[in-house]
Structures are given as structure tokens and as C-alpha cells.
Amino acid sequence: MENNNAAYWIKHLNLQPHPEGGFYKEVFRSEMEVNRVSSTEKKQAITSIYYLLEGSDFSGFHRIASDELWYFHKGSPLLIHAIDLKGNYTALELSDATSGSLSVAVKAGVWFASEIPSKTGFTLVSCAVAPGFEFSEFEMAKKQHLVTLYPHLRSTIERLCR
């Protein structure tokens, strides 16, 4: 079987649809527990997933309560859009091309989305979250709310909100 298409990797890695778009599978959840400085609640130290986007699908704007590291594995370049708490916008390419980086860090609380700019092929990455990811700390953006906060980014927000 050919290993250079999305269908192969979705089946091979047993990926499932993700609420933000694309496909994923959690592959690691640390047994070690940590506390955030601001909380006494125990959290897993780190979690990790495989994540795949294909064609014109995208990861809609969302934010989480932890830092997230993205690592490129295979496929087309991926563009990660981020809006910090002050409304500063950045777009970082995750790829093995000379224009990209093999890893990208997204800070806790930052709104971010991702897409394949060419709208062709697929991108397979890993994401590591520390302290570990919990869906209870995951927030999908509401398009109108983000546009109200960051009107200068209206076109990007409207295109990448679910």
C-alpha cells in the first residue's frame, strides 16, 4: 500500500475525526502529574497526538490552557495562524521546506488555527501538550466573538472558524 496519501495514514495510525477539523489519535499520556502554578489540580505532565489535515480541510481557531508543540512528519507545508492576547497575528510554516520549520510552539491561551495553504495533499504532524491536554480546557472560537475582538483579522477569522 502506498504510504504517501492521507487514506493510508488515517488507516495505518487509526486516526479519528477531531472536533477542530482533521484527524487525530492520542499516542501518549504521561503517568507523571504536575501542578500549574495557579492551581492545585493535578494534570498529566505531557500528552501527545498524531494529527492529519488533508486538502482544503483546516483546524478551526481554538485555544487551550497549555503550551503546544507541533512537529512536522510528512506531506505538504502547513500554515499555523496564531492571535495572541494583544491581537498580534503571526503565521508560521510547519514543513521540511527551506521556508518552514520542523517544529512550532503555540503558547497557552493563544487562539490558533492551521491549514494547508496549497489546499492539496495532506500534512501529518505530532502535537505535544504540556501540561497534558484535556478537552475540558479546549475552546473552539466563536466567529463573531473573535471578529469583534480582532476586526483587523476579519477575513482570516471568517475563513478559519467552524
**Which CATH number characterizes residue 107's domain?**
2.60.120.10
- The number of folded domains in the chain is 1
User: What pLDDT, on the 0 to 100 scale, is given for residue 100?
Assistant: 97
Taking only the tens place, the pLDDT of each residue in 67-81 is 999 999 999 999 999
Residue 47 in domain: yes
List phi, psi (to 5°) of 96: -100, 10
Find the domain containing 155 and state its range. 6-160
d(CA 148, CA 30): 38
pLDDT, tens digit, 9 for 90 and up, residues 135-157: 999 999 999 999 999 999 999 99
Q: How large is the C-alpha radius of gyration of the chain?
A: 16
In a domain, 55, yes or no: yes
pLDDT of residue 2: 65
Q: Is pLDDT at 1 greater than 70 in this prediction?
A: no
pLDDT score of 162: 86
Mean pLDDT of the chain: 95
